[in-house]
């Protein structure tokens, strides 16, 4: 995982030292569809802790060669991720990789060990395939000073697409900077587009364009060897497949690179502030428009955000507005031991008093394969330290009284990577314009917290100048340390906050969606059932197993917004819950019981 470090805001200028390192499939004789740039992360010296790994921002250090899977002699076994253990480079490699780019699976040993063994076998570079979607940050200290080859990571989906064709032979890749690689080549990147400030936002706090605005813009750059004149950039915001906002820049002129300095231009593409925000998903598509561009793989970028009934999140969310995690992080304790750490997201809104913070959704993964009886704590703080934005100072964390908490005990490993929703012990009404920290507190050495590394907030934070994902760590025997930029702008905690609307009846507002499902699922002892509408009177609950046998029947009086049902008497398994309300309306759903 990434090592903790301060991330200082850096406002972009007209000309930058270009540091985009790409992994590009340049030959694939058995499948031409694989040609092009693959999303990757480069293990640079600063982030990996490997001081002698090549600087790939220098074009002289670029490599291109055939891809070959490693073979480390551990034959016949498949690891917990479903990958061959003899292709994870956790043992000395026996096949000759001289002049090749080695390929290995992430597996369960440190990345520097893999790089060292690949290097010893003659490889000029290494590509690591993740066990999850999306690339990952690399590290490890056993052979840190010995690594002299470039190492990159790619996601499991890209690895799955490549692996059979790598085995056939003839697949080549380029790893290095794009400067001068092509004659005509404009582009942008995920870090250079301005996204929505949040990926999911409650609609009752975004009733119109005055309450919630979308600033749009991007940085475009010219790594190609030729000057480029008359290019444009554009944006198109769509809702339900129809364009609701579009804008194109005036013609732009880019100079050719000078060394590692690449001409970079920011284009303000206006503000989208509709008279009404509708519930649903808005898509933002950015384009860099250059005729005869030699490499269009970095010309189009899409991002989206959700306006919904009650969910606030900075990570991507799925169709149920649950946070998406593409990886999971734990602290690197190879040099420093930590007692605990907290992963947080920041919430602040001028109309926050319309809402009540009810609970949080998060996910965890095991460090060593075990999760049973491990504990996670939810914490909410008021962030009272005074600062307007990030333009003048790094924010402090000296005045953060706690206002909410809850605990969750993992029953076992079946919830590995699964979203869990937990309510605060005492939900609390939010205050207008007050900054809050919603945090997952982890004192366990056995749990990693879910993160989304498919987003990069760099340009977005430069636009809005507000922190989004602080991290607190407590080194053993020392005082707590806060990092306002967390693990970096490209690592977003997969955390969401459920905020109920105080201004209307429970779940009757126009933003009602399919986010309001029984929780937790799987349940342990107590099941919470959000009511989709307010119906006074009794509700009958019949619980049936999958053979149709009635295992529990209760009648309850509806007195609050959540119906609570004790399921402690039910054995582990999946059950059908049938509800019959006083007005004759029926509802049914499936829930798993797992202790």
Least confident of 94-103, 425-434, 516-525, 555-564: 555-564
Q: Note the pLDDT of residue 503.
A: 67
pLDDT at 48 over 70: yes
Q: What is the pTM of this model?
A: 0.75
First to last CA, the chain: 31
Query: What is the mean predicted confidence (pLDDT) over 545-569?
Result: 82
Q: Is 404 exposed, middle or buried (0-12, 13-18, 19+ CB in 10 A)?
A: buried
Please, which pLDDT band fits residue 15 given cuts at 50, 70 and 90?
very low
| Residue 561 reports pLDDT greater than 80 | no
Per-residue pLDDT, 265: 97
Residue 548 in this model has a pLDDT that exceeds 80: no
pLDDT at site 434 = 98
Q: pLDDT value at position 559? A: 63
Assess whether pLDDT exceeds 70 at residue 292. Answer: yes
Q: Would you state the pLDDT for residue 13? A: 33
Q: Is the pLDDT of residue 512 over 70?
A: no
According to the model, what pLDDT value does residue 584 have? 65
pLDDT at 518 (0 to 100)? 80
Q: Which residues contact 2 (CB under 8 A, 6 or more apart)?
A: 47, 137, 139, 329, 487, 488, 491
What would the mean pLDDT of 416-442 be, rounded to a whole number?
A: 96
Per-residue pLDDT at 7: 35
Which residues lie across from 15 on neighbouring strands? 263
Instruction: Write down the residue that tokens 């900075």 correspond to.
Output: 314
Least confident residue range of 46-50, 183-187, 455-459: 46-50
Cα–Cα distances (Å) from 498 to 230, 311, 437, in that order, read: 47, 5, 14
Q: Compute the chain's Rg from CA coordinates.
A: 25
pLDDT at 508 over 60: no
User: If you average pLDDT over each of 126-135, 425-434, 548-557, which comes out highest?
Assistant: 425-434
Cis peptide before 519 (omega within 30 of 0): no
The token pair that represents 516 in the structure block: 């309001």
Q: Percent of the chain, pLDDT > 70?
A: 91
- Mark 70-79 as b/e (b = at least 16 C-beta within 10 Å): bbbeeeeeeb
> Which pLDDT value is given to residue 535?
56
Q: Where is mean pLDDT largest: 97-101, 174-178, 485-489, 560-564?
A: 97-101
pLDDT at 131: 86
Residue in 522, 490, 337, 499 with CA at minimum distance from that of residue 419: 522
Q: Which comes out higher in pLDDT, residue 5 or 102? A: 102
Q: How far apart are CA 480 and CA 233, in angstroms?
A: 44
pLDDT at 107: 85
DSSP bridge partners of 214: 272
More confident of the two residues 74 and 30: 30
- The rounded mean pLDDT for the chain is 89
In the chain, % helix, strand, coil (3-state, to 5) comes to: 10, 40, 50
Q: What is the pLDDT of residues 204-219, one digit of tens each?
A: 999 999 999 999 999 9
Give how far Cα 44 sits from Cα of 88, 142, 176, Å: 21, 17, 12
What is the pLDDT averaged over residues 574-583? 79
Q: Which of 138-142, 181-185, 581-585 has the lowest mean pLDDT?
A: 581-585
- Least trusted range by pLDDT, from 156-170, 370-384, 517-531: 517-531
Q: Give the per-residue pLDDT at 532.
A: 53
pLDDT score recorded for residue 505: 39
For a pLDDT cut of 90, what percent of the chain falls above it? 67
Q: Enter the tokens of residue 85.
A: 């253990």
Mean pLDDT on 82-93: 91
Q: Which pLDDT score, from 0 to 100, does residue 14 have?
A: 36
Q: Indicate if the pLDDT at residue 534 is higher than 70.
A: no
């Amino acid at each position: 995982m990434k090592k903790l470090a301060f991330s200082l805001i850096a406002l972009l200028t007209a000309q930058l030292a270009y540091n985009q390192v790409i992994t590009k499939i340049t030959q694939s004789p058995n499948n031409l569809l694989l040609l092009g740039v693959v999303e990757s992360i480069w293990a640079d010296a600063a982030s990996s802790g490997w001081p002698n790994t090549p600087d790939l921002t220098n074009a002289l250090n670029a490599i291109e060669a055939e891809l070959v899977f490693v073979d480390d002699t551990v034959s016949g076994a498949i690891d917990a991720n479903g990958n061959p253990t003899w292709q994870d480079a956790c043992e000395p490699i026996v096949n000759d990789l001289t002049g090749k780019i080695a390929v290995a699976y992430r597996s369960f040993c440190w990345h520097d060990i893999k790089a060292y063994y690949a290097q010893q076998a003659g490889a000029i570079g290494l590509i690591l395939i993740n066990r999850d979607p999306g690339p990952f940050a690399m590290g490890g200290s056993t052979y840190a000073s010995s690594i002299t080859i470039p190492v990159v990571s790619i996601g499991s989906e890209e690895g799955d697409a490549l692996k059979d064709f790598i085995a056939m032979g003839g697949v080549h890749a380029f790893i290095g900077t794009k400067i001068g690689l092509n004659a005509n080549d404009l582009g942008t990147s995920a870090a250079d587009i301005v996204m929505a400030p949040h990926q999911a936002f409650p609609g009752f706090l975004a009733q119109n364009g005055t309450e919630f605005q979308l600033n749009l813009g991007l940085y475009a750059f010219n790594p190609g060897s030729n000057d480029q004149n008359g290019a444009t950039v554009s944006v198109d915001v769509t809702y339900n497949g129809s364009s609701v906002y579009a804008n194109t820049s005036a013609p732009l002129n880019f100079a050719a690179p000078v060394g590692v300095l690449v001409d970079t231009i920011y284009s303000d593409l206006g503000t989208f502030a509709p008279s009404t925000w509708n519930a649903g998903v808005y898509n933002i598509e950015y384009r860099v428009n250059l005729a005869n561009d030699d490499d269009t793989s970095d010309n189009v970028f899409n991002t989206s955000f959700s306006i919904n009934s009650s969910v606030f999140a900075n990570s991507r969310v799925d169709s149920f507005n649950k946070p998406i995690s593409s990886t999971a992080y734990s602290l690197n304790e190879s040099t420093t031991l930590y007692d605990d750490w907290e992963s947080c997201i920041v919430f602040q809104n001028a109309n926050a008093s319309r809402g009540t913070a009810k609970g949080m959704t998060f996910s965890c993964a095991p460090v060593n394969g075990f999760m049973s009886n491990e504990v996670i704590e939810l914490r909410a703080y008021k962030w009272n330290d005074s600062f307007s934005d990030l333009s003048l100072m790094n924010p402090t964390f000296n005045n953060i009284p706690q206002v909410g908490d809850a605990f969750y005990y993992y029953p076992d490993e079946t919830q590995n990577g699964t979203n869990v929703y937990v309510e605060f012990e005492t939900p609390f009404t939010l205050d207008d314009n007050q900054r809050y920290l919603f945090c997952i507190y982890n004192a366990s050495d056995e749990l990693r917290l879910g993160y989304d590394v498919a987003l990069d907030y760099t340009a977005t934070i430069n636009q809005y100048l507000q922190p989004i994902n602080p991290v607190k760590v407590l080194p053993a025997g020392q005082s707590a340390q806060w990092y306002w930029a967390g693990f970096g702008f490209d690592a977003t905690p997969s955390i969401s906050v459920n905020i109920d609307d105080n201004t209307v009846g429970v779940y009757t507002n126009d933003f009602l969606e399919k986010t309001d499902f029984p929780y937790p699922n799987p349940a342990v002892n107590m099941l919470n059932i959000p009511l989709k509408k307010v119906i006074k009177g009794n509700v009958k609950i019949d619980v049936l197993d999958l053979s149709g046998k009635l295992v529990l029947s209760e009648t309850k009086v509806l007195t609050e917004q959540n119906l609570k049902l004790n399921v402690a008497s039910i054995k582990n398994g999946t059950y059908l819950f049938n509800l019959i309300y006083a007005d004759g309306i029926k509802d049914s759903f499936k829930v798993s019981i797992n202790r």
